[in-house]
Amino acid sequence: MQIGQEVTVKWLPEKTKYHNGRQLAEQVVRDTVFIYTEDPKEALELARHGFIEWILNQNSKPYRQLINKLIILFEEQQYERKDS
């Protein structure tokens, strides 16, 4: 099995994306790395960075799911306490 075959890289130099008021140069969404820079050399470096981020996201996914379940449980308990 080769890792990363399901990853797609999309170079969109004409797009501008922001997150929390900061302009993004690159973004990883599910199995796609979006590159927003116009410079080809920078775009290649950002593609590498995005791929590494994607790998890290794959390894942390079970932990994020566990944390999200704990948050839901905590919120339900807080809601029940509030109603009592």
- The set of residues, in sequence order, having a beta carbon less than 8 Å from that of 46 and lying 6+ positions away, is 25, 26, 33, 35, 37
Which range of residues forms the domain containing residue 67?
8-83
pLDDT digits (tens, 9 = 90+) for 41-60: 999 999 999 999 999 988 89
3 state DSSP class of 50: helix
Q: Quote the tokens at residue 26.
A: 């690159």
pLDDT > 70 in the chain, percent: 98
Please check whether residue 1 lies inside any domain of the structure.
no
Please check whether residue 16 lies inside any domain of the structure.
yes
Residue 81 has a pLDDT of: 87
Please check whether residue 2 lies inside any domain of the structure.
no
Q: pTM surpassing 0.85?
A: no
Please check whether residue 50 lies inside any domain of the structure.
yes
Please check whether residue 3 lies inside any domain of the structure.
no
Residue 44 has a pLDDT of: 97
End-to-end CA distance of the chain: 53
As for how many domains the chain has, the answer is: 1
